[in-house]
Amino acid sequence: MPPAATDFYAAALKSTGTGDAPAPEPWSVRDAAGRTYSLADALDRWTGEADDVDRGFLTRSRGTVLDVGCGPGRLTAELARRGVHALGLDISPTALRLARRSGATVIRRSVFEPVVAEGLWGTTLLADGNIGIGGDPAALLRRCRALVAPGGLVLVETERPGVGQRTTRLRLERAGAVSAWFDWAHVGCDAIQQLAGGAGLRLTESWEDGGRWFAALRRDPTPGIS
- DSSP symbols for 60-76: T--SSEEEET-TT-HHH
Helices (H), the chain: 3-13, 40-47, 52-58, 74-81, 93-101, 137-147, 192-198
pLDDT, residue 116, reads: 96
Cβ count near 162 (within 10 Å) = 9
pLDDT, residue 185, reads: 97
pLDDT, residue 19, reads: 47
pLDDT, residue 1, reads: 52
pLDDT, residue 91, reads: 93
Helices (H), 92-222: 93-101, 137-147, 192-198
3-state secondary structure of 36: strand
pLDDT, residue 4, reads: 46
Whether 78 and 102 have beta carbons less than 8 Å apart is answered as no
pLDDT, residue 174, reads: 85
pLDDT, residue 175, reads: 81
pLDDT, residue 8, reads: 57
Closest CA to 206 of 163, 157, 133, 148: 157
Q: At what angle do helices 40-47 and 74-81 cross, to 10 degrees?
A: 30
Q: What is the DSSP letter of 112?
A: T
CA–CA dist 112, 98 (Å, integer): 23
Closest CA to 38 of 27, 25, 46, 47: 27
Positions of the chain with pLDDT lower than 50, given as ranges: 2-4, 18-20, 23-24, 225-226
pLDDT, residue 6, reads: 53
Whether 90 and 99 have beta carbons less than 8 Å apart is answered as yes
Q: What is the CATH number of domain 3-219?
A: 3.40.50.150
CA–CA dist 130, 21 (Å, integer): 26
- Measured CA distances, 104 to 94, 157, 214 (Å): 14, 20, 23
Q: What is the pLDDT of residues 127-143, one digit of tens each?
A: 999 999 999 999 999 99
Look up residue 64 and give its amino acid: T
